[in-house]
Amino acid sequence: MMEKQGTDMVLQRINQKFSGMSKGQKKLAKFMMTEYDRAAFMTAAEIGQEVGVSESTVVRFANLLGYPGFPRLQQALAEQVRKRIHEAPAVDIDNENISRREVLEQVMKKDVENICKTLEQIDQEVFESAVEKILEARRVYIVGIRSSEPLAMYLGSYLKLMIDEVLVVSSDNSSDLFEDLLRMNEEDCVIGISFPRYSMRTLKAMEFANSRSVSVITITDSISSPMNLYSSCNLVARSEMTAAAESLTAPLSLMNALITAVMAKRKKNLINRLEMLEEICNEYEVPGNDELNWVDDSDMMD
C-alpha cells in the first residue's frame, strides 16, 4: 500500500480501520490515539507490554495501517507530536516583555480564527443529524470530564429546558460513570465531549453506548480524534491552543448552535417550562435575579 503523507494520517488510518480490527488491535488503536505522545517514543515491545499484547501484534498493527514496519508508524506518531507542539502556544508566554494588551489581542484573535475555521469545515448534514438524534431520543446523556465538564454542564442546562430527560455525566470515577449510564438503550442518545488531552473514561463511555446500540454524537477537535471511534455523528470544533490550555470558544459556539436548533423545534416546551419555573419561584418567594437588595447608606445615617 502506498504510504500517504500528513501528520494526522496515522490517526485517520486508525479511525478508518477500527471497525474491522481484532480485540487486541482495538486495544492498540485506543492506546495510540489517546497516548500518541508516549507511544511515539516507546518500542514495539514496550507498547505491547503496556497494552497487553505481543510485540509481533504491534508490528502487524503497523502493517495493517499501511506502514512497511513499526519504525515508520513510530515516525508518523512523532510527527503528530511535533504538530501539536508547533501549533501551541500562539501566545509567546516565554516572552516576559509581552504586554497584557498583546496577550488580550492574540488570544481573542485566535478564538475568532477557531470559530471561523469551525464554521468553514463543519459538515451541515452531520449537524442536522445531531439535532434530529437529540430531538428523537427518549433520554439524552451528556458526558464531559475534566476540562470538558463545564461544556457538558452548559449544554445540559439548556437542553433540560426543552427535553424531558437529560442527564449530565461528569464523574472522574469510572464506577460512578457507568452507574449513571446503566439504563441507556437504543432509544437514547449520548453526547460525548472531549478535547486534548482526551479522556479515556469518555472514550470508554462511548464504547459502552455503542455496545448498547445507543445513538452516539461526539463533540471534539478533529475528525481523527479517538472520540470518533464509536460514533458516526462527529461534530468537529477547532480548539487550537492559545497558551497552555485548549481554547474552548469554538466548541461553546457550536453548542449554542445546537441549542438554538433544538429550541426552534421545541419552542413551546421552552416557553411552558419557563412559565412554570417563574410560577414556582413566585410561589416559594425565590427571587428570579438572585441578587441582594442595595443598602441605602443615607437611611442608616438617619
pLDDT (tens digit per residue) in 146-159: 888 999 999 998 89
> Which one of 1.20.1250.20, 3.30.70.240, 3.40.50.10490, 3.40.630.30 gives the CATH number of domain 105-279?
3.40.50.10490
Cell numbers describing residue 71: 519504525
pLDDT (tens digit per residue) in 108-143: 888 888 898 888 888 888 899 999 999 999 999 999
pLDDT at 88: 47
Which segment of 53-62, 183-192, 289-298 scores lowest on mean pLDDT?
Answer: 289-298
8-state DSSP, 146: G
The Cα–Cα gap between 8 and 87 comes to 13
Query: What pTM did the predictor assign?
Result: 0.68
Q: Is the pLDDT of residue 68 over 50?
A: yes
Pick the closest to residue 131 from 230, 254, 249 (CA basis).
254
Structural domain spans, the chain: 9-87, 105-279
Q: 31 with 42: CB under 8 angstroms?
A: no
Based on C-alpha coordinates, what's the Rg of the chain? 23
pLDDT at 80: 72
Confidence at 1, pLDDT banded by 50, 70, 90: very low
DSSP string, 210-236: HHTT-EEEEEES-TT-GGGGG-SEEEE
pLDDT (tens digit per residue) in 196-245: 878 888 888 888 888 888 899 999 888 778 888 888 788 988 887 655 66
- Greater confidence, 72 or 244? 72
Q: Residue 168: CB partners within 8 Å, gap ≥ 6?
A: 142, 144, 152, 153, 155, 156
Q: 288 with 281: CB under 8 angstroms?
A: yes
Which CATH class name applies to 9-87? mainly alpha
pLDDT at 6: 42
The Cα–Cα gap between 139 and 188 comes to 5
Helix 9-17 vs helix 70-87: crossing angle, to nearest 10: 120
Q: Are strands 215-220 and 166-169 parallel, antiparallel or unpaired?
A: unpaired
pLDDT (tens digit per residue) in 251-262: 999 999 999 999
Fold agreement between 9-87 and 105-279: no
